[in-house]
Amino acid sequence: MKSLLLLVFFCLACTCSNAQQPALSLSKQQMYADFDTLVGKIKTLSPQIAIKKDLCHYDALAAMSQLRKQIDTVSSDFAFYLLIRRVLNASQDEHTSYQDFYPDEMRRIESAFRMYLPVAYLNGSYIIREPFSAGNDTVYTGTVITKINGLPVDDYIRQHLADRYYSYDLARHKFYSAGFFKNLATLLQEDVTFTFQDTKGVAKTITLKTHARFNYLNHIHAAPDTTKIEYWPDQRALYIRLTAMDRQLIPYLYRELEKYRHPSLRPECIILDIRENGGGEDTVWQSLYARIIAKPVKLRLKIDDYSASRAIRKETNPLLSRYGLYTILDTTETLDPDTNSIRFDGKIIVLAEHIYSSAGSSMVVPNADPHDHIYGIGRKTGFFLGVGFSPLNFELPYSKMTYRIAPSLNVTGVKKLVDLMHDDNEIELPMTLQELIDLQAHPGNRFGKDFLILYDPFVRKALAL
């Protein structure tokens, strides 16, 4: 598993706030040089740019070219930072982003932003998933956001693609994000106006202050969400909740798993829940699987990028060769049981949602073979996912801003462009309005045993397999 340990990762108006800004230390010539250096690196290194132009009908380089025109309006170092951040956002690839560079002014602005809307993206619409009150107005679960600042939400997003990262809905051919309202534009605004339509079709327009919180109704989901392993005797299921790919969790996972060698506690299925896992180190999920599985798991892995110097050959797949890609890795990896594995040969069911990075790369195991006893239940992320080389880090020559670019693309088993997203699950579980209602009505943690067994659609689907 050596190369996987080295390679794995899973695939965010140039105006200023009213506060006094630092003096501009860069000349316009230096700003143009930094800007062109950044765009040149993205164009040269990121294979996603050209592919998204064809698959998503989105020309990131054209968007960056439009941003370049704003350099002449920049009047402070912070304003230039915001412009560079918008260029990185315009790539619409979360692994093309600023790195280890975060001005104090940005921290101040983000810490002052208090507005939060509990939103879910459901069937192409933006649904309120938790009721709240603002002034004399109350908005209930199931209400749809139809407009923001007077614009239909989809139009607003198209105008603000450089203000944050978005997922892509292939079925509806549009970018989306449940958090579309929190972006570089709204961070610098005093208030935002939303138009809502309730479940009876009644419209209501409400202006919310960005620096003030509002009240949630029945906001009682305060129980902590922690990594845990627990046995459910009635279901004969071992439930593993893994909240982060944190190396420090490995001893705990090993210690708890050891209990389930005993025949009296031997489960009929193992449910591995990595929903909302923030990522971390790939060694965590690799070690966990290795401590559970009974037989080796073989993983096909083919990776391309623009580098002829480290290529094993030029890409020959007609679909991919037109992008000038080179194959830099084409192999079969094997994840073996470790010597202390509990060698579980029953059903292993992996639950995934809202994940990328090292958390998402763990999905290569359930997705490796559709005919094995390891199943993946999940939802689309709308991102380009998969295994690849870690992003490369760079520094702009004059401003010294640091950033990263993902240079490679997982092309394993690709037959059509959409396959490059690697965003399919063995078992797709669409979100429903009833799920949001059940979650709101439950007086506790969504990852607590009672809710999981009785109402959670992921766990209920897993137990029914």
Quick one: pLDDT at residue 222? Answer: 56
Q: Measuring CA to CA, which residue among 105, 83, 104 is closest to residue 34?
A: 83
Q: Which residues contact 282 (CB under 8 A, 6 or more apart)?
A: 4, 5, 8, 9, 245, 358, 361, 362
Kindly state the tokens that stand for 123: 């069937």
pLDDT of 215 strictly over 90: no
Sign of CA dihedral 370, 373, 377, 383: negative
Q: Crossing angle of helices 77-90/104-112, nearest 10°?
A: 70
User: Does residue 94 sit in helix, strand or coil?
Assistant: coil
Indicate the residue type of 72.
Answer: D
Alpha helices in 115-265 (DSSP H): 153-159, 184-187, 250-257
pTM for the model stands at 0.87
CA separation for the pair 204, 146 (Å, rounded): 10
Sign of CA dihedral 362, 364, 369, 371: positive
DSSP for 375-424 reads EEEE---SS--S--PPPEEEE-TTT--EEEE--EEE-TT-SSGGGGG---
**C-alpha distances out from residue 204 to 127, 145, 264, Å:** 14, 10, 58
Q: What architecture is the 228-387+410-464 domain classified under in CATH?
A: Alpha-Beta Complex (3.90)
Q: Provide φ and ψ at 392, rounded to 5°.
A: -95, 140
Q: What's the pLDDT band for 17 if we cut at 50, 70, 90?
A: very low
Average pLDDT over residues 414-434: 92
Quick one: pLDDT at residue 12? Answer: 28
Each residue of 321-373: pLDDT tens digit? 999 999 999 999 999 999 999 999 999 999 998 776 778 788 889 988 888 99
Indicate the residue type of 392.
Answer: L
Beta strands in 149-199 (DSSP E): 151-152, 167-169, 174-176, 191-197
Strand partners, 99: none
Quick one: pLDDT at residue 179? Answer: 94
Average pLDDT over residues 303-318: 96
Query: What is the domain partition of the chain in residue ranges?
Result: 9-109, 119-212, 228-387+410-464
User: Does residue 291 sit in helix, strand or coil?
Assistant: helix
Q: Which residues contact 29 (CB under 8 A, 6 or more apart)?
A: none
Average pLDDT over residues 213-222: 66
Average pLDDT over residues 125-140: 90
Quote the mean pLDDT of the chain.
90
Kindly state the tokens that stand for 223: 């129980």
**Core vs surface per residue 402-416: b (16+ CB within 10 A) or e:** ebbbbbbbbbbebee
CA separation for the pair 85, 399 (Å, rounded): 13
Quick one: pLDDT at residue 7? Answer: 37
pLDDT of 16 strictly over 60: no
Kindly state the tokens that stand for 4: 């996987």
CA separation for the pair 402, 88 (Å, rounded): 11
Q: If you ran DSSP here, which 8-state letter would residue 208 be given? A: E
Least confident of 24-33, 86-95, 192-201, 436-445: 436-445
CA angle 238, 375, 351 (to 5 degrees): 65
CATH topology for 119-212 is: Pdz3 Domain (2.30.42)
Strand partners, 415: none
Quick one: pLDDT at residue 219? Answer: 57
Q: What's the pLDDT band for 18 if we cut at 50, 70, 90?
A: very low
Distance spanning both ends of the chain, measured CA to CA: 30
Q: Which residue has the tokens 């992921």?
A: 458
pLDDT of 421 strictly over 80: yes
Each residue of 19-53: pLDDT tens digit? 344 457 899 999 999 999 999 999 999 999 999 99
Each residue of 269-284: pLDDT tens digit? 999 999 989 888 889 9
Least confident of 18-27, 86-95, 211-220, 293-302: 18-27
pLDDT of 224 strictly over 80: no
pLDDT of 221 strictly over 70: no
Instruction: Count CA atoms within 13 Å of residue 273 on its CB side.
Output: 27
Sign of CA dihedral 289, 292, 296, 298: negative
Q: Which of 99-103, 135-139, 434-438, 452-456 has the highest mean pLDDT?
A: 452-456
CA separation for the pair 17, 377 (Å, rounded): 44
Quick one: pLDDT at residue 218? Answer: 64
